[in-house]
Amino acid sequence: MNTSHLNLSADDVLTTTRSVRKRLDFERPVERDLILDCIDIAQQAPSGSNRQTWQWMVIGDPAKKKAVAEMYATHFYAYAEQPGATYDPADTRAERQGAVRSSAYYLADNFHLAPYLVIPMIEGRLDEGLPTFAQASQWGSILPAVWSFMLALRARGLGSAWTTLHLPDEKRTAELLGIPYDEYTQVGLFPVAYTKGTDFKLAARLPASETTHWDSFVQR
């Protein structure tokens, strides 16, 4: 396993793994072994019935990256034109809204430049009408692995952003990449690159005391 890492503590990795967009270094190549290292770590995540029914599509071919990025951009721009979330001016999220929007547009415009795009997949289809418990079981069997992948990237000086807006074209993406659409569900699209600098900080978040309920829900 590649030992190149930032020597961050577990708490540092957990609290400073951000969605990285403008700080992705599109000019620096990423070693394939690093991607494999991060997937190896992700493979250690828990899953329902300990089955690990995961597959990982890593896209490095420029033409295929461009095709997938164009599908993402088409749906991103349509989504971005819709009214966004509104926050009280005192809410810490309000002051960040413009920056988040700007970085999202930047990523949509430059997605294809990332050295690699990664699509995690889980066996089976998560179709409409699936009961909530079944959906929760399926997502709960892949999300820990994907988050572990992002944490492993961070620990090695790489970054990514969890995106899903290529999924309206999931079937076209499957055809492009030879993914058996009827057998696997794609769960996201992740640009992977080294980050410009590694000094990511804690984000402004509500304290646990304001979001935690003990024994009975209290409306705040």
Query: pLDDT for 104-133, tens place per residue?
Result: 999 999 999 999 999 999 999 877 788 888
Split at pLDDT 50, 70, 90, the class of 49 is: confident
Confidence of residue 50 (pLDDT cuts 50, 70, 90): confident
Assigned domain for 211 exists: no
- Residue 71 pLDDT > 80, yes or no? yes
Least confident stretch, 12-21, 48-57, 150-159, 178-187: 48-57
Confidence of residue 3 (pLDDT cuts 50, 70, 90): very low
- The mean predicted confidence, pLDDT, of the chain is 90
Q: Does residue 217 fall inside a structural domain?
A: no
Percent of the chain scoring above 90 in pLDDT: 72
Q: Is 53 exposed, middle or buried (0-12, 13-18, 19+ CB in 10 A)?
A: middle
Asked if residue 182 belongs to a domain, the reply is yes
pLDDT bracket for residue 96 (50, 70, 90) = low
Determine, yes or no, domain membership for 88: no
Mean pLDDT of 185-201: 96
Residue-range definition of the domain harbouring residue 165: 12-83+94-202
| CATH number for the domain that contains residue 74 | 3.40.109.10
Contact (CB, 8 A) for 142 and 39: no
pLDDT of residue 99: 81
Domain count, the chain: 1
CA distances from 124 to 139, 140, 179 (A): 11, 14, 12
Q: What is the DSSP annotation of the chain?
A: ---------HHHHHHH--B-STTEETTS---HHHHHHHHHHHTTS--GGG---EEEEEE--HHHHHHHHHHHHHHHHHHHTS------TTSHHHHHHHHHHHHHHHHHHHGGGSSEEEEEEEES---TT--HHHHHHHHHTTHHHHHHHHHHHHHTTEEB--B-TTGGGHHHHHHHHT--TTTEEE--BEEEEEES-S---PPP---HHHH--SSS----
In a domain, residue 169? The reply is yes
| CA-to-CA dists, residue 79 to 44, 49, 84, 140, 162, angstroms | 34, 36, 9, 26, 16
pLDDT tens figures, 134-152: 888 888 889 999 999 999 9
* 210 within domain boundaries: no
Indicate the pLDDT class of residue 48, thresholds 50, 70 and 90: confident
- Residues 162, 149 contacting (CB under 8 angstroms): no
Residue 215 lies in a domain: no
| Least confident window among 2-6, 47-51, 74-78, 182-186 | 2-6
Interatomic CA distance for residues 107 and 117, integer angstroms:
12
Among 43, 65, 38, which Cα is nearest to 55's?
43
The answer to the question of residue 208 being in a domain is: no
